[in-house]
Amino acid sequence: KTARFICMYMLYKCTNLTYDTIGNYYGKDHSTVIHAVRKIGEEITLAGRHSLELNNYIKELKREFRLNELRQL
């Protein structure tokens, strides 16, 4: 469950996908994705130093997604 929640969190933070789209991918309701994003977000905040590392990783993934979108144009 935790791994899936992390994946949902990363997809939401790094893409323009909606809660519904992410939920459909995992066979879950959009409310499950909302819960996952909130839960993992709270855990990241409590993690301190590790949250900075994860936030840097998320920023890098966002850059990569944007580059890939531009390459497809």
CA angle centred on 10, ends 8 and 12, rounded to 5°: 70
At residue 29, the pLDDT reads 96
Each residue of 49-72: pLDDT tens digit?
A: 667 777 788 888 888 877 777 677
Rounded average pLDDT over 39-55 = 81
pLDDT tops 90 at residue 1: no
Q: Whole-angstrom Cα distance, residue 42 to residue 22?
A: 20
* pLDDT, tens only, 4-24: 998 899 899 888 899 999 999
Whole-angstrom distance, CA of residue 14 vs CA of residue 57: 10
What's the whole-number mean pLDDT along residues 22-45? 94
Cα of first residue to Cα of last residue in the chain, in angstroms, is 36
Q: What number of residues does the chain have?
A: 73
